[in-house]
Structure 1
Amino acid sequence: MRPDTHRADLRHIDTWLFDLDGTLYPAESGFLDAVVDRMTDFVEKVTGLPRDEALKVQKAYLAEHGLTLKGLMLHHDVDPDDFHAIFHDLSLEALAHDPDLLAQLGRLPGRRLIFTNADDRHAARVLERLGLGHLFDDVFHIASTGYEPKPSAAAFSAIGAAHDIAPASTAFFEDSARNLEPAAGLGMTTVLVGPYAEQSTAPFVQYRTRHLAPFLRDAQLKEAA
């Protein structure tokens, strides 16, 4: 049976954590590629390196710190507001409403939270464009964690404390497998989303799906009280 048609048992879940970029819209949209291109432009400018070398630095900071921005802050004294500003005029034309996803998110029992390494303004723009903003109780963004990005333990500790999260009744949806590992360690149910999800063999990933809406549609959910 294909992972994205497997009927997941999520009847114990009443807190739903969702990553934003690459999770609430398909990677095929190309929007995330545009985000990465802007980021490379910024790294190129800050470091003075040729583009191919700047891209290597960008990837190295991502691998080491979980977020390119963190490396830029530590090694180049970059102001996070200056970094985030480069995305605030990015075209959102590649993103479209998904009525099925809206419906499936709307039927989830309990709290729905965004847990993103992006900033609040970027998250607000994307959610508004997707027509999903009203479905979430909060957006826990990078400043909310004191600029400690996923997958750091500090990021999970921050959202856990802010929202009194009980891991055993929480599901976390991500397009990055590495960000699911600490969630699994805490006892959360983990769902890897996106075009590479089915290829993952990570033992801490419980469910894998290429597309979010069909997975939620088929999942077993807690009945309304």
Structure 2
Amino acid sequence: MTADLAHVDTWLFDLDNTLYPAESGFMAEITSRMTDFVQKATGLPRDEAFALQKAYLAEHGLTLKGMMLNHGVDPAEFHAIFHDMSLEALAHDPDLLAGLARLPGRRLIFTNADDVHARRVLERLELTGLFDDVFHIASSGYEPKPSPRAFQAIGAAHAIDPVATAFFEDSERNLAPAAELGMTTVLVGAWAPRSTAPFVHHRTEKLAPFLTGARLREAL
């Protein structure tokens, strides 16, 4: 069914596994490098380092947050491990570009990644010029989604009216605080149709056709 988004004039998009498909495998390399970092920082065997990584992700919404709080990790050192990653797994999607380009109003990236990673990915996808700003993890003072403080931070920075905002995410739980604020939420990914969460308003396996088919407000 066509989504009615005629009330929306601010468009928030997560970055990883949202603006490109999870099936690309790109996040698998990110996860592996993260495990390497946790193993080196803690001295744990790899399987225990991976378990700790996932525990921090579950508790804080971001592995880095747990590493900062419990191990004194410098976020700049952590993020640097991703800055030389190959981007070959990511491909430009002209249909996605067209779908994004038709959205009226502001388009913002809202990511738990850092600014360098976000810039590299957007450039690779050829989407840089379509977004007004990138609200990255340092922008929120290292408060990651789904923390309500992260949503408060982006709301204050961009004077966001939640009722006129749509938020697109591959992580179901990151949509909960958005819906509580009054945003329209869209879960993206192969698993989205199986979601039954009441705070998820729309579900789509693929982002491009959803955007292309959505009902939007008429241009003024």
Per-residue CA deviation, residues 149-173 of structure 1 (Å, 9 max, x unaligned), is: 0000110000000000000000000
Q: Take 2:59 and 2:130, find their aligned partners in 1: how far apart are those partners?
A: 33
Q: Take 2:219 and 2:29, find their aligned partners in 1: how far apart are those partners?
A: 40
Q: Are residues 1:67 and 2:78 paired?
A: no
Report the counterpart of residue 144 of structure 2 in structure 1. Answer: 149
Tell me the secondary structure at the aligned position of residue 151 of structure 1: coil
Q: Take 1:25 and 1:32, find their aligned partners in 2: how far apart are those partners?
A: 10
Per-residue CA deviation, residues 35-74 of structure 1 (Å, 9 max, x unaligned), is: 1111111011111111111110000000000000000000
* Unmatched runs of 5 consecutive residues or more in structure 1: 1-5
From 8, 13, 22, the counterpart of 2:17: 22
Task: Tell me whether 41-50 or 82-91 shows the greater mean CA deviation.
Answer: 41-50
From 203, 207, 217, the counterpart of 2:202: 207
Q: Take 1:133 and 1:37, find their aligned partners in 2: how far apart are those partners?
A: 27
Q: Are residues 1:78 and 2:73 paired?
A: yes
From 38, 43, 50, the counterpart of 1:43: 38
From 188, 203, 211, the counterpart of 1:193: 188
Q: Take 1:156 and 1:150, find their aligned partners in 2: how far apart are those partners?
A: 7
Q: Are residues 1:31 and 2:26 paired?
A: yes
Q: For residue 199 of structure 1, report the CA deviation from its aligned partner.
A: 1.0
Q: Take 1:159 and 1:175, find their aligned partners in 2: how far apart are those partners?
A: 19
Letter in 2 for 1:69: L
- RMSD of aligned alpha carbons: 0.4
Q: Take 1:30 and 1:193, find their aligned partners in 2: how far apart are those partners?
A: 16
Tell me the secondary structure at the aligned position of residue 156 of structure 1: helix
From 94, 111, 126, the counterpart of 1:131: 126
Tell me the secondary structure at the aligned position of residue 105 of structure 1: helix
Q: Are residues 1:163 and 2:158 paired?
A: yes
Matches within 5 A, 1:89-128: 89-128=84-123
Tell me the secondary structure at the aligned position of residue 25 of structure 1: coil
Identity score, percent: 76
Letter in 2 for 1:103: A
* Unmatched runs of 5 consecutive residues or more in structure 2: none
Letter in 2 for 1:159: I
Question: Normalised by the size of structure 1, how large is the TM-score?
Answer: 0.97
Q: Take 1:64 and 1:160, find their aligned partners in 2: how far apart are those partners?
A: 23
Report the counterpart of residue 3 of structure 1 in structure 2. Answer: none
Report the counterpart of residue 54 of structure 1 in structure 2. Answer: 49
Q: Take 1:184 and 1:33, find their aligned partners in 2: how far apart are those partners?
A: 29
Q: Are residues 1:10 and 2:5 paired?
A: yes
